Amino acid sequence: MKYLFQDSFMQDEIFHANKDSIQNESIEPILDSELEELFESIGGSSFEYGLIRFHNRSTCSIWTKAFSNYYPNIKSKFWCFAFDWLGRQYAIVEKEELIFRFDIVTGEYEKLQTSLAQFLNQLLVEHKEGILDTDKFEKWRNLENARQLGLNECIGNVISLLLGGEEEVWNLEIQDMEVHAELSHQIYCKVHGIPYSPHSF
């Protein structure tokens, strides 16, 4: 299957292992046909130098487990299917036309009232800047003469926004995704006085 956003998003060359090569014996069965189609068609793919990337079955399982731990108050079942250059995770919600966008830096999440098909065929096409902050991404890439992001990388703040860091492109750097998520969660818990329980990827 080809999605409409693919007509306007450049697909990156992939410099990582094959899309289902990551072994995870505890992968939970996913009972969503649209998500299975996504894995088959673009799972493990990257677009626009890492602006947005899509999980395969294995990484979906890994990051869904992580964000279920980071957001224990969410009782709805969800699956992470994509992540953007800022490390924000996008997840479909079971039995609902709803997508969660998780921002681990702020500890917040946004509810996008849309189905997976609408997200891929309409929102990414018509609201690319609003969804993915493309202007900021391009400013950072131009400033750093940056290479394409790997599937295990994102752009994070040198000094966390929660610790007084400024929301400027010069306060951004390439970070390992797992380190970024865990450190951001740790800072969030400390700032808000919440008990911190480390997550092991």
Does residue 15 fall inside a structural domain? yes
Position 199 in a domain: no
Kindly list the distances between the CA atom of residue 86 and the CA atoms of 17, 60, 131, 194, in Å, as whole numbers in the listed order: 22, 17, 12, 24
Domain span at 91: 4-192
Task: Return the closest-CA partner of residue 38 out of 85, 87, 99, 86.
Answer: 99
Q: Which residues contact 73 (CB under 8 A, 6 or more apart)?
A: none
pLDDT band at 96 (very low <50, low <70, confident <90, very high): confident
Q: How far is CA 74 from CA 59, 63, 102, 151, in A?
A: 20, 15, 12, 26
* Arithmetic mean of pLDDT, 54-77: 94
Kindly state whether residue 161 falls inside one of the protein's structural domains: yes
- Confidence at residue 15, expressed as pLDDT on a 0 to 100 scale: 55
Given a cut of 60, is residue 22 above it in pLDDT?
Answer: no
**Count: domains in the chain:** 1
pLDDT for 177-193, tens place per residue?
999 999 999 999 999 99
51 within some domain: yes
What percent of the chain clears pLDDT 90, i.e. is strictly above it? Answer: 78
* Average pLDDT estimate for 30-44: 88
Q: Quick one: average pLDDT of 118-137?
A: 96
Instruction: Indicate whether 12 belongs to any domain.
Output: yes
173, part of any domain:
yes
For the chain, what is the mean pLDDT? 90
What integer pLDDT is reported at residue 27 of this predicted model? Answer: 53
What does pTM read for this prediction? 0.91
Instruction: Give domain status of residue 150, yes or no.
Output: yes
- Classify residue 34: in a domain, yes or no: yes
Residue with tokens 């990582």: 16
